[in-house]
Structure 1
Amino acid sequence: MKLKQLESYLGNLEQFSNPKIELEQYPTGSHIASRMLYTAENSFGDISGKVVADFGCGCGTLSIASALLGAEYVVGIDVDTESLEIAGENAEDLEVDINFVQCDINNLSLRGQIVDTVVMNPPFGTRKKGADMNFLAVAMKVASQAVYSLHKTTTRDHIKKTVLRDLNAKSAEVICELRYDVPQLYKFHKKKEVDIAVDLWRFVPQRDQER
């Protein structure tokens, strides 16, 4: 599938009807999502034929992108049931098979299950400090092949140091810097749209770590 075709599919997905600020719910735009998954597949071969988990899947954008790019099995995990309902409808509309699960990432137990690749657009940790690193810590335990994640560019040094030092990563690489369009979703937003610089990371777990 070509990049423009993937972006077009993702651009038609329903997004949050009632976003929850405490969960830092922001839609993953089709521009960023398509490039994130297209790169994961075409540059690294981490999607097609793989078992992919989407952490904090929201309305299912990254899950659906993974399925469209030929993932063997996709599981989308989120704590919010309303978002999962929308995600299920989106997947049904595009006729892709995804297993959506309601679960707090911090309580996730995937022992005995093999996940090749984790993809995620985690909370930036603006409302709940450390939320982004919590997502990363779990992802690095679960993924056997790679973790793809979006984080504010301003946190780049902290992310790299922490992942390599504390989360047993073999490598941590910023693949590209993107512009994340944050729409005016909440009352405290003063502008119709704000651009935030974000990094697309690819983390590779140590192959010999216990799973």
Structure 2
Amino acid sequence: MSWISTIEYDVSQGKLRKCYQRVKDANGHIDNIMKAHSLRPQAMEGHISLYKNVLHHEGNQLPRWYLEAIGVYVSLINNCHYCVTHHFDGLKELVQDETKTQEMRQVFEENLTQAIDFGGCFEQKQAAGLKYAWQLTVKPCQVDESLVLHCKALGFDDGEILELNQVVAYFNYANRTVLGLGVELEADLWD
């Protein structure tokens, strides 16, 4: 499951049990990325709060499918198979078009070492956001105001740029949690 010990739901208690009850799905499943936090429930609380607010908050203006697509792209750049698998599945559910989502993934895979061309899968504004995501993931110290101004020129408002920034930051955090702790895919869900 991971390179560190974890506490399973059936033996959890107190704050950890409450956290697990908050993150388990309708079938009682808890993702391994959440179990990896089980030794420090406060870290799990922070992770799930960030996740829900960055990706699922009703106040977000960017489309949820686009936020999910950014997450898949960042996770591909970071070579985080766990997050790619989970969030590409989520992207497919949101887009409801297998051909389109496969085209998106192909475009992402063609833009791993440089963010150059996002083809016909994305509007110009969305492509600019993906270029921002690449830069912030691969060369964060080289992000400058010109990149943000370019996003603004193509229609992003300041709040949307913040959403973009936070989803990129969240996925870099999640990818590093998974990669740094050796979190494995849930075999029962992905076989």
Question: What TM bracket, shorter-length normalisation?
Answer: 0.3 to 0.5
Using structure 1 for the length normalisation, give the TM-score.
0.33
Determine which structure has the larger helix proportion and give its number: 2
* Structure with max Cα Rg: 2
